[in-house]
């Protein structure tokens, strides 16, 4: 039973990953692409991590998974900020 819930969470996360990468391919400019990327990074990886935590029996590895997910959340926020500021500064220099 818990495996079915875990697989459901993993496939919901995969939906977010796929829609995030399709948005990265199809949206018109860099800021909307970063918006699509944030969905794949945060919600997609959160749901995949939730499913993997249900499948993983070892408690130590569960804690490690949560720590990796928090690190990826912080990394995604910081690097999206850096890329967006870089693009904004370049736009301002071109004007």
Partner 1 sequence: MTDTSSTSIVTVALLVALNLLMLSLLIGLVRAWIGPKIEDRYSAILLLGTGGVAILFILAILLPLAALYDVALVLALLAIVGTVALTRSEKSDD
Residues that bind partner 1 (CB under 8 A): 3, 6-7, 10-11, 13-14, 17-18, 20-22, 24-25, 30, 33-34, 37, 40-41, 44-45, 48-49, 52, 55-56, 58, 61, 64-65, 67-68, 71-72, 75-76, 78-80, 82-83, 85-87, 89-90
Tokens of 47: 């749901």
∠ CA 75-51-34, nearest 5°, is: 30
Contacts of 8 by beta carbon, 8 Å cutoff, 6+ apart: 51
Residue 75 CB, nearest approach to partner 1 (Å): 4
Residue 21 CB, nearest approach to partner 1 (Å): 4
Instruction: For residue 9, give the nearest of 65, 74, 64 by alpha carbon.
Output: 65
């Amino acid at each position: 039973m818990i495996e079915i819930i875990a697989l459901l969470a993993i496939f919901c996360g995969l939906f977010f990953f796929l829609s995030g990468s399709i948005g990265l391919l199809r949206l018109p400019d860099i800021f909307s692409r970063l918006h699509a990327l944030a969905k794949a990074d945060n919600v997609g990886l959160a749901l995949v991590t939730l499913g993997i935590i249900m499948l993983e029996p070892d408690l130590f590895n569960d804690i490690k998974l949560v720590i990796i997910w928090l690190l990826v959340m912080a990394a995604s926020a910081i690097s999206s900020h850096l890329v967006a500021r870089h693009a904004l500064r370049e736009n301002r220099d071109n004007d």
